[in-house]
Structure 1
Amino acid sequence: MLTFKKTSLIDAPIEKVWEFHERPDILDKLTPPWQPVKVIKREGGLDIGAITEFQLMLGFIPIRWLARHTECNQPYLFVDIQEIGPLKSWEHRHQFTPKNGKTELTDEIKYEIPGGRIVEILIGWWVDFRLQDMFTYRHEITTKIVESEPQEVNGEQ
């Protein structure tokens, strides 16, 4: 089992960061434009049982990826797992921790590459590089958008 983790501190309250992740267009916002990923379907928001279906392109080969949410503790955590996809296993924990009026955002992924230890040694570095690339982009976009939106006070801007 391999683990990837990315943490950023966002200058916004936890509720605002959570609400950003509830947006219907969130996956379009957070998918790097250079990654060959297309969102096919998204149902259920962040709640337990919610699903997201993607199509990844591996060269000219389309790969179906279906993720299902297995945990949700608003506004602190949601977890999705791969039900169908290219990896042997995948669990993605999205964690939100309040820090003195700011929010620590942590994405932690535990995954297994199919093919055993030798395949893991051969391509594990590449998978880690792709995750670093993707989540650096996601955290930068989240920070940029959330910090630039006006703060609401008592339901007013």
Structure 2
Amino acid sequence: MNQNIEIVAHSGIYTLLAEQILNVSIPEAWEFFSSPKNLSKITPPQMGFYITSEELKQMFAGQIITYQIRVFPFLKANWVTEITHVKEQSYFVDEQRFGPYKMWHHEHHFSETEGGVKMIDRVTYKIPFGFIGKIAHSIFIKRKLEDIFSYRAKVLDRKFSVMNFK
């Protein structure tokens, strides 16, 4: 499978860009991605992803989602995100309020294209701990994020017959 994931750095702030074409309609894609309970289905099992929020319905602006993730083999972290923007069947944004990053801003965009739905993930993030964080990013954080989005692409490939492009 051709992976279309790119991470670039600008003054200590990183941007991950991932693009896919989903072989579904906008309403089908939106139904899946706008349900917070589906997050665990597209997260690698080794991350120990577990939603700790109350039962989650369809997302809405202002919604707080809490979960635990495994950041290292025997170290779990709590993560709190807020859905800050929603334009139904077009895009939504989640932002970290508390968690492992100094900043995390994740945009999810959906648009019709030939063959289905073009889905773009744009994650802008900053690593804590200054110079040590930069080293950690180059050694393993960047690779871990690429692995997470590659896993996600494979899951979506099986679910929606995804065709990657660029």
- State the partner residue of 1:154: none
- Do residues 2 (structure 1) and 14 (structure 2) align? yes
TM-score of the superposed pair, with normalisation by structure 1: 0.83
2:120 counterpart of 1:106: yes
Residue by residue over 1:71-121, the C-alpha shift from the partner in whole angstroms, topping out at 9 and shown as x without a partner, is: 0011010100000101111001111121025111111110010112x1243
- Tell me if structure 2 keeps the 8 A contact 1:92–1:109: yes
Structure 2's unaligned 5+ residue stretches are 1-12
Instruction: Kindly provide the CA deviation profile for residues 6-59 of structure 1, in whole angstroms up to 9, marking residues without a partner as x.
Output: 111111122211111134630221121122322212645321012221112334
Gaps of 5+ in 1: 149-157
> How far apart in 1 are the matches of 2:64 and 2:133?
28
Determine the C-alpha separation between the residues in 2 that align with 1:63 and 1:121.
Answer: 20
What number of residue pairs does the alignment pair up? 147
1:65 maps to which residue? 79
Question: 2-side partners of 1:139 and 1:45: how far apart?
Answer: 22
CA 1:24–1:93 in 2, change beyond 3 Å: closer, same or farther? closer
2:42–2:155 Cα contact (<8 Å) kept: yes
The counterpart of 2:151, out of the listed 120, 137, 141, is 137
Q: Partner of 1:34 in structure 2?
A: 46
Instruction: Give the fraction of aligned pairs with identical amino acids, expressed as a percent.
Output: 27
Structure 1 position 46 matched with structure 2 position 59: yes
Larger radius of gyration: 1
Aligned mates of 2:63, 2:57 — CA distance in 1: 4
Alignment CA distance shift 1:98-1:34 (3 Å): same
In structure 2, distance between residues paired with 1:128 and 1:82:
18
How do 1:77-116 and structure 2 match up within 5 A?
Answer: 77-116=91-130
Give the structure-2-normalised TM-score: 0.79
Task: Report SS of the residue matched to 1:41.
Answer: coil
